[in-house]
Structure 1
Amino acid sequence: MNISQYYAVDVINGPGTRCTLFVSGCIHQCKGCYNKSTWSLRSGVEFTQEYEDAIIRDLQDSRIFRRGLSLSGGDPLHPSNVPAVLKLVQRVRTECPSKDIWMWTGYTLSELSPAQQQVVQYIDVLVDGKFEQALADPSLQWRGSSNQVVHYLTDK
């Protein structure tokens, strides 16, 4: 898996202060996407063990409290990204159990493959659906267009 950006401290992509990882690769290629540079699976840099370890360290850092991890892109549920994303969310659950995990995907819950569903069982909030430029609404929280749905999957 490649990533386009990692922010160790982010206050935009989810509630509170968070770690945010933007992965590369998106098959949806929504018109009006603000992050077109992430569409190619080859864009960005390789997501290495060092990146994964840094995310865990940052989530555990007591100097700057982080509420959780946000995964965006590209699309974290792109079939090529699923194995690495699954490994990461499983590790966050094990080593940082008090942290929440938010994820944005162009897939809807009903479209998810069994492998993608396996990832979703580890996250707390899923924002699903393709960005639809005709339904864009800047007043919406956590999503860009009104067709997208914020699914609160746990009580975190």
Structure 2
Amino acid sequence: MVSIKIAGTVDESVVDGEGIRFTIFTQGCPHKCEGCHNPHTHDYTAGKNVTIEKLFTEICENPLLQGVTFSGGEPFLQAEPLAILAKMLHKKGFDVTTYTGYTLEELQAMNSVMVNALLDETDVLIDGKFIIAERDLTLQFRGSRNQRLIDMKQTREQGKIIRKEFN
């Protein structure tokens, strides 16, 4: 069984992406952004291990969910199990949103098979560190103006970054 280290989950979130979502907060983060609203996720030794099969079952039991959000901590530190879980979720019709403190360009420059696998299974990427000087509470699904909502399917198809627009 494949496991992931998490800080916790939210069963029905409407602030972590479009629609009603199951949000998984991964444990461990190298960014430690000033003003982070999840500082308890920074410590790599905290949190708990849970199997992706257990998370998958829990998600599939809720008929209200549109999608799943991977937040943090830093999800790309656990790219392999999240990519596997995302692939399972896509087969069940869920969409996947992934938050990261890295930019898409930084993730691509890592040239990592597992990072690329998670990017391939991500529908919407919300990238960039939270920068307190650019904090804006009016922004949808993000905390600072530097962070981007990226439509990953369109980005892959067009070969350039395409921003995601929500109604």
Please, what TM-score do these two structures have when normalized by structure 2? 0.81
Q: Could you list the per-position Cα deviations for residues 54-81 of structure 1 after superposition, in whole angstroms to 9, with x for gaps in the alignment?
A: 43234333x6321010000101012xx1
Determine if contact 1:4/1:38 at 8 Å carries over to the other structure: yes
- Give, in whole Å, the separation in 2 of the partners of 1:25 and 1:122: 21
| 1:41-120 paired onto structure 2 within 5 Å | 41-47=44-50, 49=51, 52-61=52-61, 64-78=63-77, 81-94=78-91, 96=92, 98-112=93-107, 113-115=110-112, 116-120=115-119
Deviation at 1:53, TM superposition (A): 2.5
Q: Could you list the per-position Cα deviations for residues 92-151 of structure 1 after superposition, in whole angstroms to 9, with x for gaps in the alignment?
A: 223x1x211001000001001233122111110000000000000000101100001100
Amino acid at match of 1:76: P
Aligned to 1:7: 10
Aligned to 1:151: 150
Deviation at 1:83, TM superposition (A): 1.9
- Give, in whole Å, the separation in 2 of the partners of 1:118 and 1:129: 19
RMSD: 1.8
- Give, in whole Å, the separation in 2 of the partners of 1:135 and 1:9: 28
Amino acid at match of 1:86: A
- Give, in whole Å, the separation in 2 of the partners of 1:57 and 1:65: 14
Please, what TM-score do these two structures have when normalized by structure 1? 0.87
- Give, in whole Å, the separation in 2 of the partners of 1:46 and 1:56: 14
Deviation at 1:18, TM superposition (A): 1.1
- Give, in whole Å, the separation in 2 of the partners of 1:68 and 1:6: 13
Tell me the percent identity. 32
1 or 2, which has the higher helix percentage? 2
1:126 aligns with 2:129: no
Secondary structure at the residue paired with 2:19? coil
Deviation at 1:152, TM superposition (A): 1.2
Deviation at 1:11, TM superposition (A): 2.1
Determine if contact 1:56/1:92 at 8 Å carries over to the other structure: yes
Amino acid at match of 1:60: C
Q: How many residues align?
A: 148
